[in-house]
Structure 1
Amino acid sequence: MRHILVYGDSMSWGLIPTTRKRLNFEERWPGVLEIALNSADKHVRVVEDCLNGRRTVWEDPFKPGRNGSQGLAQRIETLTPLSLVVVMLGVNDFQSMHQNNAWLSAQGLAVIINTIRQAPVEPGMQIPPILIVAPPMPYDPKGMIAPKFVGCEEKCEGLAEAYKEVAAAAGCHFFDAGSVVTCSEYDGVHLDADQHLILGWELVGVVSSILK
């Protein structure tokens, strides 16, 4: 059995918009991906490491442990051998307490990639390939999370293109989730259940190709 690590934030954790509840495993996109791959006899286990509020390299001044580059190398070491690491981060880089743009977030992504590749895995074990998934862009944030994302739409403009450039330069695989799904109309930031289903199925072909 091959193992895939999904490294992400609340969008992949499966936060149900306007609530603090979580979609069931089979409803959120990493679960949809695992079930579909195993139905096609790929024999995989998808390991989720998705923390609400996680950034690429920035700290949350109000909650500890949201810098995605911290502890990542040890996480890779713990789970080795891995057949693939899927990284879907970025939206939280544009929370209102950060003055980031797409280029800066992409530099944070480059640190994430380098951290994965420099992980101290056991001798003879290979560093896994990396799939970068650019998240769909938030729009018109609403409800309890709205103050966190004031101005995010302008700051994150061009993120998919910036992430694609970093992925290409680093020799990583790339997929733009925004090409197939959109953020929820209820909170403007997270994914509704139907969008999780779409994204999970869209990634089946991408991941299958990499695993070959």
Structure 2
Amino acid sequence: MNHILVYGDSLSWGLIPTTRERLSFEGRWPGVLEIGLNSAEHHVRVVEDCLNGRRTVWDDPFKPGRNGAQGLAQRIESLTPLSLVVVMLGINDFQTMHQNDAWMSSQGLAVIINTIRQAPIEPGMQIPPILIVVPPLPTTPKGAIAPKFIGCEHKSQGLVEAYKEVTAVHNCHFFDAGSVVSASEFDGVHLDADQHLILGWELVGVVSSLLKYYQRIER
């Protein structure tokens, strides 16, 4: 069985915009990904580690544990062997309390990549390949979350290009989620239910190709 770790934030956790509710497993994109890959006979389990408010490397002054680099190495170690790690982070780097731009967020992403690769896995086990998924860029934040994301639509400009450059330097795989989905019109940040389905099925094709590629290499 192939084990795939999805490491993300509320966009992957499945937060329903304007609520504190969560989409069902089969309705959020990591679940769609698992179902789609298994229907293609890949025999996959998708492990979700998606925490609302998670940043790349910054702390949340109001909630503990939102620094995505902390504890990640142990998470990789505990789940090894992994066939793939899918990382979709970045939007929370632009919350109101942070004065980050796209370049700074991309440097946080580089730390995440290096942390995964330096995790103390068992001797002889393979360092998992990494797929970076750039979240769709936020629009003007609305509703109850608006005060947390003031200016995020401006601070995040250039994120796709900055993340693409980092993934190229670090030899990771890359997918721009904004090429197929967009942030919710209801809150400007999260994904609506239909967007989860679209993203999940788009990633089925991407991940299926990666699994087949690495299976050929291992033979």
The whole-number CA distance in structure 2 between the counterparts of 1:172 and 1:154 is 26
- Equivalent residue, structure 1, for 2:70: 70
> Structure 1: which 5+ runs fail to align?
none
- Equivalent residue, structure 2, for 1:134: 134
Identity of aligned residues (%): 83
The whole-number CA distance in structure 2 between the counterparts of 1:110 and 1:55 is 13
Residues 1:20 and 2:37 aligned together: no
Residues 1:186 and 2:186 aligned together: yes
- Equivalent residue, structure 2, for 1:47: 47
Letter of the aligned partner of 1:204 in structure 2?
A: V
1:3-50 deviation line (CA, Å, top 9, x unaligned):
000000000000000000000000000000000000010000000000
**Considering only aligned residues, what root-mean-square deviation do their CA atoms show, in Å?**
0.4
The whole-number CA distance in structure 2 between the counterparts of 1:16 and 1:154 is 23
- Equivalent residue, structure 2, for 1:83: 83
> Structure 2: which 5+ runs fail to align?
213-219
The whole-number CA distance in structure 1 between the counterparts of 2:204 and 2:164 is 19
The whole-number CA distance in structure 2 between the counterparts of 1:44 and 1:170 is 26
The whole-number CA distance in structure 2 between the counterparts of 1:9 and 1:86 is 12
Q: Per-residue deviation at 1:85?
A: 0.1
TM-score relative to the length of structure 1: 1.00
The whole-number CA distance in structure 2 between the counterparts of 1:26 and 1:144 is 26
- Equivalent residue, structure 2, for 1:34: 34
The residue correspondences of 1:148-159 to structure 2 (distance < 5 A) are 148-159=148-159
Q: Per-residue deviation at 1:211?
A: 0.6
1:83-135 deviation line (CA, Å, top 9, x unaligned):
00000000000000000000000000000000000000001101100000000
- Equivalent residue, structure 2, for 1:125: 125
Q: Which runs of 4+ in 1 moved over 3 A?
A: none
Q: Per-residue deviation at 1:205?
A: 1.0
Q: Per-residue deviation at 1:209?
A: 1.0
1:190-212 deviation line (CA, Å, top 9, x unaligned):
00000000000000111011111
1:154-175 deviation line (CA, Å, top 9, x unaligned):
1000001100100011000000
Count of aligned pairs: 212
Q: Per-residue deviation at 1:140?
A: 1.2
SS of residue in 2 equivalent to 1:104:
helix
SS of residue in 1 equivalent to 2:26:
coil
The whole-number CA distance in structure 1 between the counterparts of 2:69 and 2:30 is 21
The residue correspondences of 1:91-106 to structure 2 (distance < 5 A) are 91-106=91-106
The whole-number CA distance in structure 1 between the counterparts of 2:167 and 2:36 is 26
- Equivalent residue, structure 2, for 1:202: 202
Letter of the aligned partner of 1:192 in structure 2?
A: D
